[in-house]
Amino acid sequence: MIDNILNSVKMMDDAPELLVKLSNIKNRQPLYDRSEDIKKYCDNCWKIYNKGINIEKLLKYAKTELYQIEAINGLRFATKNEIKQGVRGIICVTKENIDDENYKLLSILQWSFDWKWKYLSQAGCSSECKFEDIETDIGIIQKFDMFRKRLDKLCEYLDTEFESDIDKLKQISKQRKFEYASYEPDEVHEDISIKQIVQSVLSRFEKNSKNPDVRRAIALALKTKNNPFGMKPDEIAFMREMLSNHTEIESTNEGIKEKCERLYAERDKGNIGKDDFVFKIIETLSRYNYTRCSSKQLKIIDSALDKIESSCETTIISDDEISNELDIMQYNSEDMFSV
């Protein structure tokens, strides 16, 4: 029976992509053990596919994203220009128009229709699949096994809340979109273009960094290298903040090596202990050629230098004070011999 279904799929011009992929598997022996689930998919999901409901379009209305910003005059909705620039401080407030679990089920259903990785990710299933195996027979079966885990829930959803969710999303799609203001008195502006941000992140950030925020910034930059406007406003704002912090650290790092070398010299003179904690920090900085120093590390270095300077301070005596001191010494001497 499964062979009949899959063979008929091969002869069709339009069918769910999941069934097309299964029909193209050369060795169908593993599919026979999965025949019940394949039939269940055909009886439930394929039926929805044939109704021609544009789930891909409706999924865009499952969540409403509104952008706000904490400006000088307080929290408000962002302006059109602030959203376009992705200014620092912008945040995305998400309103879920349908239940999140239903959103994931709709996404996995849509994935079975068009095989797009985007919907696999939206469904929260991407970590269960190896992207590189997506077109191999083993990879396709693996994907179907991942789908099977959710098939019972999906079928239950299709029989219960599916129709009401679809109607709700259709109504939302017809509503007028939220209109952002064109201007606000405390509007925030940025000087650096999005393209420059992407280029700066790729050229200045450490590629093998252990910092998850740095890795995220690089991943976003690589993803949008050829299309800088592909990022969401809050992602651009994140990139701006990361670049600003990175620039601040670079500025802080100026003169670090000279300060460290001076501390080594003072240690050789005996003006600071060899086991002082500051030298553990210097040892760490030297591994990165003194190019990565946090504000906390810099504070400890400056504190060590201040202690050395304060302990080496010399009191300067004027010529008059020296003369006066000599007169006192001479008077005391004459007084002593007059006894």
Which carries the bigger pLDDT value, residue 246 or residue 333?
246
Q: Distance between CA 95 and CA 65 in Å, rounded?
A: 6
The answer to whether 106 touches 118, Cβ cutoff 8 Å, is no
Stretch among 49-53, 77-81, 250-254, 259-263 having the lowest mean pLDDT: 250-254
Q: Cβ of 272: how many Cβ atoms within 10 Å?
A: 20
Instruction: Compute the average pLDDT of residues 110-133.
Output: 84
Position 48 confidence tier, pLDDT thresholds 50, 70, 90:
very high
Dihedrals φ, ψ of 183, to 5°? Answer: -155, 145
Q: What is the pTM of this model?
A: 0.66
> Which pLDDT score is estimated for 336?
42
